Chain A
Amino acid sequence: MAKFSLEQTRLFVQNAATERNWVANTDEAFRDALAEGLNVNVGRYGYYLCPCRDSNGSRERDRDVVCPCTYATDDITEYGHCFCGLFLSPEFAASGNEPQPIPERRPEELI
């Protein structure tokens, strides 16, 4: 399985946000908890499984929830942040609001 340092995973988060014109959550403790979760998952599964979703056992069956997940863009557009609260829209980030749990957009049959 792929092994990355926590620092590499933090960099992955930052790059993923920058490439999409998102903002990585500015709450350092919350963001770091998610980066640590991603780091556990990449060590465990070999890919950056969303830390807020459970694995279905293979990359193929998890492909829609590999971070950034398939649903992130729609969630960020609608709620200002992704399901995990890791990535924010620039507007949401500027508002100073805290991400709240949002409905799961992933189809129930995939959960």
Chain B
Amino acid sequence: MPHSEVAPTLSNVSDITEKLEFTLVDGARTQPELTVYALSTCAFCKKAMDFLRKNDYRFRFSYVDNVDPEYKREFKRQLSNRFDVVVVFPILVVNDEKAYSGFTELIWSRAVGIS
């Protein structure tokens, strides 16, 4: 059988965030670990991150609209599969375990532990 080389594809990438650039926003509340995927153009995304800032959470965020379209498609597919979410921005990922799609203050409050 002839040997055929299979070019590595993005689906082989184990860390789906590998090519994203993140900005860290510091805050006194460091738990849970929070990551926000957002669009740089979206007002609800800004509002969502203002909510985390106002509540003094440390989090990191990445503007997904700023990355290469081919990578972005694969990233969104993997994000959706991994967390079983529809990719509607902003997306909040808590402790790399659970994701919340879209910003609703009540849902995000519960997700980050504000009672």
**Distance (whole angstroms) from the CB of B100 to the closest CB of chain A:** 11
Residue of B nearest to A51 (CB): B41
Q: How many of chain B's residues touch chain A, expressed as a range? A: 20 to 34
Per-residue CB proximity of A12-31 to B under 8 Å, as 1/0? 00000000000000000010
Q: Does chain A have a CB within 8 A of B102?
A: yes
CA gap between A101 and B72 in the complex, in Å:
23
Q: Which residue of A lies closest to B64 (CB)?
A: A54
SS class of chain A's interface: helix, strand, loop or mixed? loop
Query: Does A40 interact with chain B (Cβ within 8 Å)?
Result: yes
Q: Chain B's nearest CB lies how many Å from the CB of A46? A: 15
Q: Does A37 contact B (CB under 8 A)?
A: yes
Say how far A78's CB is from chain B's closest CB, in angstroms: 16
Task: Tell me if A101 and B104 are in contact (CB < 8 A).
Answer: yes
Chain A residues with Cβ below 8 Å from B87 are 54, 111
Contact across chains for A51 and B88 when beta carbons are under 8 A apart: no
Whether the pair B86, A38 counts as a contact (CB closer than 8 A) is no
- What's the tally of chain A residues with a CB closer than 8 Å to chain B? 22
State whether A57 and B44 are in contact (beta carbons under 8 Å apart), knowing that A52-B89, A101-B102, A111-B87 are contacts in the complex.
no
CB <8 Å contact, B43 and A52: yes
Tell yes or no: A33 within 8 A of B by CB: yes
Query: Which residues of A (61-107) have their CB < 8 Å from a CB of B?
Result: 84-86, 100-101, 104
Does any Cβ of A come within 8 Å of B46's Cβ? yes
Q: How far is the CB of A49 from chain B (nearest CB, A)?
A: 8
Closest 10 CB pairs of A and B: A37-B41, A51-B41, A33-B43, A52-B42, A57-B69, A104-B88, A101-B102, A34-B43, A40-B41, A30-B43
Binding site for B on A (CB under 8 A): 30, 33-34, 36-38, 40-41, 51-55, 57, 84-86, 100-101, 104, 108, 111
